[in-house]
Amino acid sequence: MTAKPSINADRLWQNLMALAAITEEHQAWTRRSFTPKFLEGRAWLQGAFAKAGLEVEIDAGGNLIGRREGSSGNLAPLMMGSHSDTVPSGGRFDGVLGVLCALEVAQTLHEASLITRHPLEVVDFLAEEPSEFGLSCVGSRALVGALTPEMLEMTRPDGMTLAEGLAYVGGDPEALSRVARGKDAIAAYLEVHIEQARALEAAKVPVGVVTGIAAIRRQRICLVGQTDHAGATPMDLRRDALVAAGEFIAAVSEAANKITTPENPLVATVGWMDVRPNAANAVPGEVQMILEARAPLADKLDRFLDVTVAGLLEKFPAEGIKVTCENLSTAAAAPCDKRIVDAVETVAQDRGLPSMRMPSGAGHDGVFISQIGPIGMIFLPCRDGRSHTPEEWAEPEDCAIAAQVMLDAIIELDKV
């Protein structure tokens, strides 16, 4: 292949708006996984995949996959995609744009009668966002054989198990082993995504070349003091767990801010807390909280949590506050492949498009897909860096640029 056709920017935008319109009536823009609205969106996508000349299936892991065979039958596929599910009121671009950019690439090649050497696969991964079962990246886990029997037994509030959820969306929990792909199963994976931050917008740069997806660790921290009467207990005799928690949260924020850099960022957040007894007239006796920290380099993340955070907690036992700290989850960092990074950067330059290299602080299906082949990502600006909100927005021109860069990069990657 030598020609580089142009994507249809109007069609991409129309598709984006059409899929976004499939939303819960009183909660825009919401299409949660394992719901009727999700299935409605999936039906729309199946039709769009077929119109683009793709052979369509839903695999055992509930992933919607459109495939177009290549001219060399023995080559591993070039995979593109993202996810069509949203968080509640989550916006119209996160995930969805990645699926539709991949679809636009496939449809453009189909209409131009250009056959890639490698097979092409467009994937809508199931439930990338945290689902009501308490698990994210369900489909990409399944595709790499990381969806365990214990995960299949997880339940959502209405009692449905994840295994039942897979069957509900057209998957087959009994056949997961047959669809799990091994190492080097794909030649490359490429995903378009809004940046979900402000760097591209601030720099007025249309193309972000992602260098890697950050490692994530979550810890449950419990501080236990003593519950007392809020009116009768003198201030100097209190063992207030919430005061201790407040001091800890402020100290964690300050410590993270001191060591983060643009080249190697680290972020730390306490986004969930349970205070007991949670009464206006009682001194809080116990606080549970979840601390999440992210960094592109796992060793920097581990040092922060295992040394810095652990050190911040050491003061509280002397103040009468008992401390427990439990590691809840760890997601490994996923560096992007140099060849893919270079290809994205080169094709952007060829079209006169400024680009900048940057890490991804958010998690993506690529973390798991990196287990079966090299990955890469293309970021585009989003307004004020906002995401997971109804105000999430990307300009049509920026969406079209990202899709075109993806197409050019796929053509480049197909040469190898």
pLDDT per residue over 29-38, tens digit each? 999 999 999 9
Peptide bond connecting 44 to the previous residue in cis, omega within 30 degrees of 0: no
Whether residue 2 is predicted with pLDDT greater than 60 in this model: the reply is no
State the total domains in the chain: 2
Whether residue 252 is predicted with pLDDT greater than 80 in this model: the reply is yes
Whether residue 255 is predicted with pLDDT greater than 90 in this model: the reply is yes
Place of tokens 């591993």: 76
Judged by phi (left if over 0) then psi (alpha if -120 to 50, else beta), residue 344 lies in alpha
Tell whether 276 and 235 lie within a shared domain: yes
- Report the alpha-carbon distance of residue 278 to residue 280 in Å, rounded: 7
- N-term to C-term CA, the chain: 12
Give the per-residue pLDDT at 162.
98
Tell whether 396 and 316 lie within a shared domain: no
The band of 3, judged by pLDDT with boundaries at 50, 70 and 90, is low
- Report the alpha-carbon distance of residue 348 to residue 16 in Å, rounded: 23
The band of 330, judged by pLDDT with boundaries at 50, 70 and 90, is confident
CA 294, 295, 299 angle in degrees (round to 5)? 115
Q: What is the mean pLDDT of residues 91-104?
A: 97
Burial category of 199 from C-beta neighbours within 10 Å (exposed 0-12, middle 13-18, buried 19 and up): middle
Higher-confidence residue: 182 or 3? 182
Give 275-311 pLDDT, tens digit per residue. 999 999 999 999 999 999 999 999 999 999 999 999 9
Tell whether 57 and 179 lie within a shared domain: yes
Give 337-390 pLDDT, tens digit per residue. 999 999 999 999 999 999 999 999 999 999 999 999 999 999 999 999 999 999
Domain-located, residue 3? no
Tell whether 173 and 81 lie within a shared domain: yes
Contacts of residue 402, Cβ cutoff 8 Å, sequence gap at least 6: 97, 101, 192, 206, 207, 378, 379, 380
Domain finish residue from 282, 298, 331: 331
Domain-located, residue 121? yes
Tell whether 229 and 322 lie within a shared domain: yes
Give the per-residue pLDDT at 68.
98
Domain finish residue from 289, 312, 331: 331
Range of the domain at 226: 215-331
Whether residue 316 is predicted with pLDDT greater than 90 in this model: the reply is yes
Whether residue 1 is predicted with pLDDT greater than 60 in this model: the reply is no
What number of other Cβ atoms are within 10 A of residue 307's Cβ? 10
Nearest to 206 by CA among 403, 342, 13, 363: 403
- Report the alpha-carbon distance of residue 379 to residue 399 in Å, rounded: 10
Tell whether 236 and 372 lie within a shared domain: no
Domain-located, residue 246? yes
Q: What are phi and psi of 133, to 5 degrees?
A: -80, -5
Tell whether 142 and 232 lie within a shared domain: no
- Report the alpha-carbon distance of residue 169 to residue 166 in Å, rounded: 5
Tell me, letter by letter, the H, E, C secondary structure of the chain.
CCCCCCCCHHHHHHHHHHHHCCCCCCCCCCCCCCCHHHHHHHHHHHHHHHHCCCEEEECCCCCEEEEECCCCCCCCCEEEEEECCCCCCCCCCCCHHHHHHHHHHHHHHHHCCCCCCCCEEEEEECCCCCCCCCCCCHHHHHHCCCCCHHHHCCECCCCCEHHHHHHHCCCCHHHHHHHCCCCCCCCEEEEEEECCCCHHHHHCCCEEEEEEECEEEEEEEEEECCCEECCCCCHHHCCCHHHHHHHHHHHHHHHHHHHCCCCCCCEEEEEEEEEECCCCCEECCEEEEEEEEEECCHHHHHHHHHHHHHHHHCCCHHHCCEEEEEEEEEECCEECCHHHHHHHHHHHHHCCCCEEEEEECCCCCHHHHCCCCCEEEEEECCHHHCCCCCCCCCCHHHHHHHHHHHHHHHHHHCCC
- Determine the residue type at 98: G
Domain-located, residue 1? no
Give the per-residue pLDDT at 329.
85
Give the per-residue pLDDT at 91.
87
- Determine the residue type at 167: A
Higher-confidence residue: 330 or 335? 335
| Residue 331 bridge partners (DSSP) | 216
- Report the alpha-carbon distance of residue 370 to residue 364 in Å, rounded: 11
Q: CATH number for the domain including 409?
A: 3.40.630.10
Whether residue 194 is predicted with pLDDT greater than 70 in this model: the reply is yes
What is the dihedral angle through the alpha carbons of 170, 191, 76, 350, rounded to the nearest 10 degrees? 150
Whether residue 253 is predicted with pLDDT greater than 90 in this model: the reply is yes
Domain-located, residue 4? no
Tell whether 20 and 166 lie within a shared domain: yes
Tell whether 234 and 138 lie within a shared domain: no
The band of 258, judged by pLDDT with boundaries at 50, 70 and 90, is very high
Instruction: State the average pLDDT for the chain.
Output: 96
